[in-house]
Amino acid sequence: MSQWFVLYRKEWLELIRSGKLIWVPVVFILLGASQPIVSYMLPEIIAGAGNMPEGTVIELPTLTASGVMVQTLQQFGTLGLLIIALISMGTVSNERLSGTSAMILVKPVAYSSFVTAKWAAMLTITAISFGLGYGAGWYYTAALFGSVSLLAAAGSSLLFGLWLGFVGTVTILFSTLLRSAAAAAFSALGAAALLSIATTLLPKALAWSPGKLTELAAAQLMSGHASGLWPVVSITIISIIAALALAVWHLRQHPSIEAV
Amino acid sequence: MALLTVKGLTKSFESTQAVNSIGFTIHEGRCVALLGPNGAGKTTAIRMLTGLIAPTSGDIEFHGIGPGADRRSLIGFLPQVPAFYNWMTGREFLIYAGRLCGLSAKEAQTRSSELLERVGIASAAKRRIAGYSGGMKQRLGLAQALIHRPKLLILDEPVSALDPIGRREVMELLRSLKLETTVLFSTHVLHDAEELCDDVLIMRAGRIAVGGSIQDIRSEHRQPILSLEIEQDEHSRKWLQNWLKTPPAYVKTYSALSGGVRLVVDDVNAARRNLLAELVESDVRMTKLEIGHTTLEDLFMKAVTE
């Protein structure tokens, strides 16, 4: 176990030294805060544009506080997801390509520790960034539109956070399977998009799909409860474990690429 | 005492057999060179020993560890091109390596300081590895391989990429290391092997062509040699040409030298007597006649080109 913490500490140190621990939370906070602020200012922005014909009446739907929070989540679902894929895409493949994985894995290091330490570091930075970003969104929504119950916000953040963690795990899996970091990010985002679309198109058949997590998070926000939650959560957790196991298995077969 | 026994170790990639059923034993305290031209399968063989490549077939057996124990804990490995986390300092990397090998935080620190001093990069210990030169990285690589006092130190071409000074320094380091632990290193330079090693394994095309202790190999394959050089006048050259057309029975093989010929012979005394007589009789203007023995280099060349 102490060896696992040594590995985790190294990942953590790398997050700090590379500056990721600064810029990723900052971007998430900007994403989270900008959505309620922009929604609030939108009528004025349009009025200030000044090129409207005289007498134009613009009717904007009245936004509820929870509606704004759902929009904020959608921001995290696109740009946030992209950032998580970008910071995780090289986590294993870069080490295999540069040869550092060969340096480490000739030591008595468990392959599973090597992968899970990276995975835990990814979860940590995701949790911190998303927590701060969502918190910022919640704060500005409360200030500008009216409060959203903390319980609904917290529940939806757990569900949505699980989705982010799932996509991060898939990125790490592809980072282990593929040589190219860019291909890993592309595959992971592609898989996430496919899963989301398929779940929307076939809601009945894919009622258990992890792609449903975003929908559940929104439902949790709007109505305070999400039905059909547990199958999705369990399947997601099982998929995460399976992805990690596959990554470990593949790494054990091919600890370094330059060796071949 | 045997430390490591390898039997029938084979690795085939899609179309090629990189290593073809090699077997050898490494005894404790010996320094062994894995010698061979580029592409002979040295790196593949070494990577199988370290566990970085799974063998297609064959056994690697370490003696003195329990069944199921991780053999990686006995091995210290320096790859051909050591790679590091460039954002770490040299000292941080060593401590990290030590902790991964199971040293306590305190042990790892003292051992790191000790090794940094020993490999001669103590003054750069607090600098980022990104700024290290090739020679410094090689030394850091050596230090990280030694951090847990391995029973077997495996080095893949440890001096090939270094300039002459760096090479000399690393060789000196190895000379002192081989007194403490068992060393296996690969090289394509015979001279390095001869300088340091007790045993050699000469590989060619995935097989071990010759193996054993340097002394044994030397005496076993030692053959007498006559080198003859002549002046480049018409008469002497003609004589040599004619003489080589039907060489006497004692000449086993011969090869041309600049201005002469090198003969591998079986009976050195008969050869000497006969050749001198012929030279005198035909009035050949000889400039040099040397009698010696085949070197390890001759054997190496023979083993890898045959």
What is the structure's pLDDT at A259?
43
% of chain B exceeding 90 in pLDDT: 32
For A78-102, how does the pLDDT look when each residue is reduced to its tens digit (9 = 90+)? Answer: 999 999 999 999 999 999 888 899 9
Backbone angles phi, psi at B79, to 5 degrees: -70, 170
How much is the average pLDDT of A162-180?
95
Indicate if B206 and B281 belong to the same structural domain: no
Q: Which residues are registered as beta bridge partners of B257? A: B260
Residue A10: exposed, middle, or buried by beta-carbon count in 10 A (0-12, 13-18, 19+)?
A: buried
Burial class (CB in 10 A: 0-12, 13-18, 19+), A251: buried
Report the range out of A46-60, A245-259, B11-25 with the highest average pLDDT.
B11-25
Taking CA atoms, what residue in A is nearest to B100?
A: A3
Q: Where are the domains of chain A?
A: 2-253
Name the token pair of A254. 């091919």
Nearest to A18 by CA among A170, A164, A125: A125
Confidence check: pLDDT of B143 > 80? yes
Q: Determine the Cα–Cα distance for residues A28 and A5; give it in Å rounded to an integer.
A: 27
Bridging pattern class, strands B182-187 and B152-156: parallel
For residue range B184-222, list pLDDT tens digits in order.
Answer: 999 888 888 888 889 999 898 888 888 888 888 888 778
B137 with B264, same domain? no
pLDDT at A260 over 50: no
B278 plus B194 within the same structural domain? no
Tally of CB atoms within 10 A around B61: 13
- CATH number at B264 reads 3.30.70.920
Please answer yes or no on whether A100 and B72 come within 8 Å at the CB atom: no
Instruction: Please indicate, yes or no, whether residues B80 and B194 belong to a single structural domain of this protein.
Output: yes
Q: Do A14 and B87 touch (CB under 8 A)?
A: yes
Q: Are residues B89 and B188 in the same domain?
A: yes
Residue B295: CB atoms within 10 A of its CB come to 15
The domain boundary residue, chosen from B204, B219, B234: B219
Query: Is B161 an 8 Å CB contact of chain A?
Result: no
> CATH number, domain at B74?
3.40.50.300
Q: Of B159, B191, B219, which marks where a domain is finished?
A: B219
Specify the pLDDT at position A255. Answer: 80
**B47 and A6 in contact by Cβ < 8 A?**
no
pLDDT at residue number B141: 94
Q: Exposure pattern of A100-112 as b/e (b: 16+ CB <10 Å)?
A: bbbbbbbbbbbbb
Instruction: Name the residue range of residue B298's domain.
Output: 221-305
Last-in-domain residue among B202, B219, B236: B219
B79 touches chain A (CB under 8 A): yes
The CA-CA-CA angle for residues B87, A131, A195, to 5°, reads: 90
Q: Hey, are the CB atoms on A106 and B75 less than 8 Å from each other?
A: yes
Torsions phi, psi for B40 (to 5 deg): -80, -10
Q: How many CB pairs under 8 A join A and B?
A: 65
Contact (Cβ atoms closer than 8 angstroms) between residue B259 and residue B190 = no
ipTM: 0.88
Which residues from chain A sit within 8 angstroms of residue B87, using beta carbons?
14, 17-18
Please give the tally of structural domains in chain B. Answer: 2
Give ∠ CA A123-A128-A132 in degrees, rounded to 5. Answer: 145
Q: What is the pLDDT, as a whole number, of residue A258?
A: 56
Selecting from B73, B83, B148 the residue whose C-beta is nearest the C-beta of A103 gives B83
> What is d(CA B43, CA B243) in angstroms, rounded to the nearest whole number?
46
The per-residue pLDDT of chain B, averaged, comes to 88
Nearest to A74 by CA among A40, A41, A22, A36: A36
Whether B58 and B181 share a structural domain: yes
3-state secondary structure of A213: helix
Residue A251: what pLDDT? 92
Contacts A253 to B, Cβ<8 Å: 54
**B238 lies in the same domain as B112:** no
Mutate to test the interface with A, among B99, B101, B144 (most CBs of A within 10 A): B99
Instruction: Pull the structure tokens for residue A54.
Output: 């005289």
One domain for residues B17 and B126: yes
- Residue A30 CB coordination number (10 Å): 14
Give yes or no: residues B146 and B98 share one domain.
yes
The pLDDT assigned to A50 comes to 67
Report the alpha-carbon distance of residue B100 to residue A10 in Å, rounded: 11
Same domain, B43 and B173: yes
Judge whether residue A152 has pLDDT over 70: yes
Interface check for B50 against chain A (CB to CB < 8 A): the answer is yes
Residues B300, B211 share a domain: no
- Interface contact A107-B101, CB threshold 8 A: yes
pLDDT at residue number B135 = 85
